[in-house]
Structure 1
């Protein structure tokens, strides 16, 4: 297995995350358009920056823009700029984001929010690298790599005729899927410890460890807000913590979406009785194993005694669920 290089800002050691990093590294080598997809808060902009700074354009600008924050009538002006006199109050010509990113990378976040007109303009630019500023008759050319991102099903938007199919195929010359935190195994704990370390440094506090209950909670929670939600919650808990360890036992309340069934488990209506029963048992079994490993700091013998099982039997269960005891041992 090839070693995956560490990237600044990226924390994780799960197989899913390391596979994503390996794909990212390969994508960065090739100077082509990329679509980064993933749920809200997974780190799509960080992935886009990593693609840029590992690529051939690393010494040139990285220009991010949130398409969803641009008013409809200003999208083309922001992307392409305008000539003097293009409209009222346009007393001076202005460079657009594409010109500002010359030689580098333009990151278009929430690209699925672009208007139909802006999609046409972006498609034209992707086809030949040429564009016109608003109010200008002169065609200009730019050498810019486009990295786009979305947290929606862009292929579904194409099917619903909400997004141009030809633009979609241009953007997906290369694709990178950033995995949600709930699919990244023990990474939530690694991330939480990094958040604590960074907050301790920022606020000149002593680093505190995570209580075993907190470790169990981190691994059991489905994290609808992904890494961003974890960062906010753990920093808050750390700053408000008076004890020697950070204790979080309850699930995060609020928001209707957090009351939805765990998306890791298929809807019961799609399963027969035996399949549904087996799935619930598997989920319970994994949850108990995680709790045991947390409480025993990865000591399999202690966990076996606590569970009233033979060490070999417990070891087989851990292997079955892909749980690594080393991840629970404090350094």
Structure 2
């Protein structure tokens, strides 16, 4: 299930569901941890192949010496250790989807083998004499640019074009800031189910700290942080102290609320301060990433430029301070 409320997430989900209706290959590109396999599963389960197998394979784990056997299977006696007939990944995915993860790690030999298969969808098990026709949908994923790799002659250009019939870039979490809060809560709920414990919720200050983080490890990093923070929380809420215990990157945020909020502060006043602190931190990081360009910053944050301008004015943040020197 894809969780998110950003414009980028809604657009991605719409594209994936359009892709699901046809059987041509799809290439998914995105940084590590962005959820490319989740996107591939959405393509599979939203389409007519949903009742058939979804077979993931890590291309980096396919040894050159066994590439054809792994993909196409083998007959008994085809080689020394072939003591029985074994189906390959293509046969296991018959009628469904074969997900080629980390496709950029395929060796030159493996690339040739895959290209030959994609050209006519025919294959022959190792040791077999009769060619078989595969009914399988190919979805490939990479955290590198296959186009750039092909230009550098590190990936076959003809294979790149075969895989790139339909294309989608899965955006990093820092470009989908509006998704951080719902994802963080979703992962807390998953942690509760995994541990068989009571549900917990984030404090407003914790949400602010989560939103201000750069998330180099993307959604996978957020999932891990949420799990560790849940385990560190003794009560029903997970705050910045638990975040700091889960990841040292949040240590600075854990010190701010204790200094800012007096003991006799009302809930509404504390919440207002937490939101204001979050907005200032978020806007500062956002303008820094955008080099002081408000239009670019608005696109990164998925908000209207006019609304962003009002927030900058509200907090007295001057965009000129973030512009690169000419």
User: Considering the TM-score relative to the shorter chain, is it more than 0.5?
Assistant: yes
What corresponds to 1:19 in structure 2?
11
What is the Cα deviation at residue 319 of structure 1?
Answer: 9.7
Q: Is the 8 A contact 2:64 2:109 kept in 1?
A: no
Is the helix fraction higher in 1 or 2? 2
Q: Is the 8 A contact 1:35 1:175 kept in 2?
A: yes
What corresponds to 2:86 in structure 1?
94
What corresponds to 1:122 in structure 2?
114
User: Where does 1:313-328 land on structure 2 (aligned, <5 Å)?
Assistant: 317-318=310-311
Question: Residues 126-168 of structure 1, C-alpha deviation per residue, up to 9 Å, x if partnerless?
Answer: 1111012223332221111111111111111101111100000
Question: Residues 157-197 of structure 1, C-alpha deviation per residue, up to 9 Å, x if partnerless?
Answer: 10111110000001000112211111112211111111112
Distance 1:114 1:318, change over 3 A: same
What is the Cα deviation at residue 117 of structure 1?
Answer: 1.3
What corresponds to 2:155 in structure 1?
163
Q: Is the 8 A contact 1:31 1:55 kept in 2?
A: no
User: Where does 1:1-331 land on structure 2 (aligned, <5 Å)?
Assistant: 9-248=1-240, 250=244, 252-253=247-248, 276=291, 278=292, 317-318=310-311
Q: Is the 8 A contact 1:80 1:99 kept in 2?
A: yes
Q: Is the 8 A contact 1:67 1:75 kept in 2?
A: no
**Partner Cα separation in structure 2 for residue 232 and residue 264 of structure 1:** 27
- CA RMSD for the aligned pairs? 2.9
Q: Which 5+ residue runs of structure 1 have no aligned equivalent? A: 1-8, 255-261, 268-275, 288-312, 322-331
What is the Cα deviation at residue 30 of structure 1?
Answer: 1.3
What is the Cα deviation at residue 314 of structure 1?
Answer: 8.4
**Partner Cα separation in structure 1 for residue 312 and residue 21 of structure 2:** 36
**Partner Cα separation in structure 2 for residue 153 and residue 28 of structure 1:** 23
What corresponds to 1:328 in structure 2?
none
Q: Is the 8 A contact 2:52 2:95 kept in 1?
A: yes
**Partner Cα separation in structure 2 for residue 134 and residue 314 of structure 1:** 62
Distance 1:204 1:89, change over 3 A: closer
Distance 1:99 1:319, change over 3 A: farther
TM-score between both structures, scaled by the size of structure 1: 0.74
What is the Cα deviation at residue 91 of structure 1?
Answer: 2.2
Q: Is the 8 A contact 2:74 2:87 kept in 1?
A: yes
Distance 1:140 1:319, change over 3 A: farther
What is the Cα deviation at residue 252 of structure 1?
Answer: 4.0
Distance 1:120 1:264, change over 3 A: farther
What is the Cα deviation at residue 243 of structure 1?
Answer: 4.0
Distance 1:235 1:170, change over 3 A: same
**Partner Cα separation in structure 2 for residue 128 and residue 319 of structure 1:** 57
Q: Is the 8 A contact 2:287 2:293 kept in 1?
A: no
**Partner Cα separation in structure 1 for residue 49 and residue 197 of structure 2:** 39
Q: Is the 8 A contact 1:103 1:144 kept in 2?
A: yes
Secondary structure class of the residue paired with 1:59: coil
What corresponds to 2:274 in structure 1?
none
Question: Residues 102-130 of structure 1, C-alpha deviation per residue, up to 9 Å, x if partnerless?
Answer: 11111111111111111111111111110
